[in-house]
Structure 1
Amino acid sequence: MTTPPRTVPAVDVVIVNWNAGRHLGDCLRSVVRADRSELEVARIVVVDNASGDDSLQGLSAADIPLDVVRNPRNRGFAVACNQGAARCDSDLLLFLNPDTELYPDSLAVVARVLRSPPEDHIGIFGGLMVDERGNPQISCSRFPTLRVYLGKMTGLDRVAPALFPSHHVRPRELTGSGPVDQVIGAFFLVRRPVFEELHGFDERYFLYLEDVDFAWRARRAGWLSYYVEQARVHHAGQVSSSQLGPWRHYLLMCSRSTYAFRHWTRPRAWALMALTVSVEPAARLAAAVLRGRWAELGATLAVYRSFLRWFRQGR
């Protein structure tokens, strides 16, 4: 009796780019070099959000079909992810940041986990983020709570972490592969049925927390997120977002307010809003004064004024 050939699952890769420079090309080359014998990469879709650099020049994915979508304006991360996913048809979707690089065995390791029967109820998979020296970086996060944000705003997450846990799970807190609240969006592998059931990422998030929101909605629908410790991914981190300067915090405030009013009780969401316009700006302004960073004072006030204007206009 002839044994039928084993079917290799297929994944489509979606990369959202905004001024990632050389990192985008490095990311594509890492996908090409990866062992794809156990997880076939059927297509790579790069969605560019109106980059002003040369990151799109000379892109190539060798034997993998490459689709490049050029948005005339920056439509935000969630919208661009959904754009890319709409061009894909494989059973798996891998959302990959342009400042990441796969290790040769990253895809093969995840493929072995995918074949494990106990993991059939897992809808989202993530890997171990490492720096250029292979040192572990932030790979997972907790679902945010009012206490988490209060600790972050005041620094109490560093003084009393037992009472005020950080949003991100520190590498030393992870003891091996297993279910987590959320794997970070730099390497975010999703089963297509889950993505379709949740109608993709919520496009009300321009940047930040769209992956947290997705993981929370998946959890409520009965799908877990799973951290795969052996699946290493080099993550440079903040290559694009660092170009935003103080406006990174504006986008974060908008996203966390959206998340709170979408997923928390109204009293807790309004409590976060109160902290956001009182405790947090006072702490940030005081820190700027103590460090002698006088230029930050005006920029901080401008960011909070813009946030209040956004909130009054109905979020």
Structure 2
Amino acid sequence: MIDIVTVNWNSGTQLKECIDSVLDHDKGELSSIIVVDNGSTDDSVATVEGLPGVEVIHTGENLGFGAACNIGAKAGQSPYILFLNPDTRLEADSISVPLAFMERPENGKVGICGIQLVDEQGRVSRTCARYPTLGRLVSSALGLDKLPGLTGSGIHMADWGHGEITRVDHVMGAFYLIRRRAFEVVGGFDERFFVYLEDVDLSKGANEAGWPTWYLTEAQAFHAGGGTSRQVKAHRLFYSLRSRLLYAFKHFPRWQAWLLLVVTNVIEPFTRSAWCLLRGDVTGVKHTWAAYRMLWRAMGHILRGEGRYNP
């Protein structure tokens, strides 16, 4: 049995479409559907309240993705938890295939499982990732992973077609099936990551505890991508940069973390601006510098490894 946890923040019609797809394709595997509403100001959560098997938890404020996921996980008891973004829609075998894979005796130590996610055009998205390293994060910071021949130099596995079943470092948190035992061994999501990299951090912790991650191709789900973070571009970049530095100071040797901090704060604002200008995106330049102003104000909190921070 599976508990599905969906974190909602102003998801509009996407939330109802997601939950409808879950209910439409339930083959008896579901124990509960838990929607954690992170202080939404639209009427999205009202569209799912009262639906069969759906429990809504109101946080009253935006606690961040990881914290809300932890709340939702604690509300269930099933041996598996599926963290599912509201901008996803399940298909007939989206749950049954990965659950059957996890239930096979030879896969008893597989901790996390993901499936193919497809976009509006039906294309398989490159959703798997490698664990961040200094080199991979610097490549992304400088935009090198955008260059032909260097698309695999960042953390995202953009150089791999996602056409084979294989063990990977990480599968995207939009569809993130994890054994409850593995989730509890790791201690759930690190709530210092407001959004971004909290799922990679969890995958790394689970793998180090003996619970690896696998990616399956026998099942698919639709994923719009970007989610509600599309609404707040400068804040989205700020939280991405903040999470990157938190991750580095948590997992990297100190000198590497400090080197990444210098690259992020001193060089990257200009490389990001240059890439925006090459695309003719003047608004993107404005968003970039707005995000960096928030980052610089938050730097003391980051260096102290403090929790949730609202710019």
TM-score under structure 1 length normalisation: 0.90
Measure the CA separation in 2 of the matches of 1:117 and 1:131.
33
Per the alignment, residue 246 of structure 2 pairs with: 258
Using the TM superposition, name which of 199-208 and 126-135 deviates more.
Answer: 126-135
**SS of alignment partner, residue 45 of structure 2:** coil
Measure the CA separation in 1 of the matches of 2:50 and 2:214.
28
Contact kept, 8 Å, 1:151 with 1:164, in 2: the verdict is no
Per the alignment, residue 27 of structure 2 pairs with: 36
**SS of alignment partner, residue 153 of structure 2:** coil
Query: RMSD of the alignment, in Å?
Result: 1.9
Identity value in percent: 39
Q: 1:49 to 1:166 in 2, by over 3 A?
A: same
Q: Does 1:139 align with 2:130?
A: no
Per the alignment, residue 275 of structure 1 pairs with: 263
Q: Does 1:165 align with 2:156?
A: no
Using the TM superposition, name which of 222-231 and 281-290 deviates more.
Answer: 281-290
1:57 positional shift:
2.2
Measure the CA separation in 2 of the matches of 1:160 and 1:111.
37
Q: Does 1:308 align with 2:296?
A: yes
Superposed CA offset, 1:190-232 (max 9, x none): 1011111111100000000010000001111111001111120
Q: Does 1:75 align with 2:66?
A: no
Q: Does 1:190 align with 2:178?
A: yes
Amino acid at match of 2:58: R
Per the alignment, residue 222 of structure 1 pairs with: 210
Measure the CA separation in 2 of the matches of 1:288 and 1:111.
42
**Map 1:206-245 → 2, pairs under 5 A:** 206-245=194-233
Contact kept, 8 Å, 1:156 with 1:164, in 2: the verdict is no
Superposed CA offset, 1:73-96 (max 9, x none): 111001000010110011111100
Superposed CA offset, 1:15-48 (max 9, x none): 00011111100111111111424xx101011001
Per the alignment, residue 98 of structure 2 pairs with: 110
**Map 1:40-119 → 2, pairs under 5 A:** 40-59=29-48, 63=52, 65-119=53-107
Per the alignment, residue 27 of structure 1 pairs with: 18
Measure the CA separation in 1 of the matches of 2:204 and 2:262.
24
1:54 positional shift:
1.6
The unaligned stretches of length 5 or more in structure 2 are 306-311
Q: 1:284 to 1:171 in 2, by over 3 A?
A: closer
1:279 positional shift:
1.7
**SS of alignment partner, residue 255 of structure 2:** helix
Contact kept, 8 Å, 1:183 with 1:225, in 2: the verdict is yes
Per the alignment, residue 7 of structure 1 pairs with: none
Contact kept, 8 Å, 1:139 with 1:171, in 2: the verdict is no
Q: 1:29 to 1:258 in 2, by over 3 A?
A: same
1:115 positional shift:
2.5
1:160 positional shift:
5.8
Q: 1:33 to 1:309 in 2, by over 3 A?
A: same
Aligned residues: 303
**SS of alignment partner, residue 140 of structure 1:** coil
Amino acid at match of 2:44: S
Contact kept, 8 Å, 2:65 with 2:194, in 1: the verdict is yes
TM-score under structure 2 length normalisation: 0.91
Structure 1 outlier segments of 4+, above 3 Å: 60-63, 160-164, 287-299
Amino acid at match of 2:223: H
Using the TM superposition, name which of 178-187 and 278-287 deviates more.
Answer: 278-287
Considering only CA atoms, is the larger Rg found in Structure 1 or Structure 2?
A: 1
The unaligned stretches of length 5 or more in structure 1 are 1-9
Q: Which of residues 120, 123, 127 is equivalent to 2:108?
A: 120
1:164 positional shift:
5.8
1:290 positional shift:
4.6
Superposed CA offset, 1:243-262 (max 9, x none): 11222110001101111100
1:133 positional shift:
3.5
Using the TM superposition, name which of 292-301 and 43-52 deviates more.
Answer: 292-301
Measure the CA separation in 2 of the matches of 1:306 and 1:196.
33
Superposed CA offset, 1:86-138 (max 9, x none): 10011111100000011011111112212322211100011100013321012
Per the alignment, residue 309 of structure 2 pairs with: none
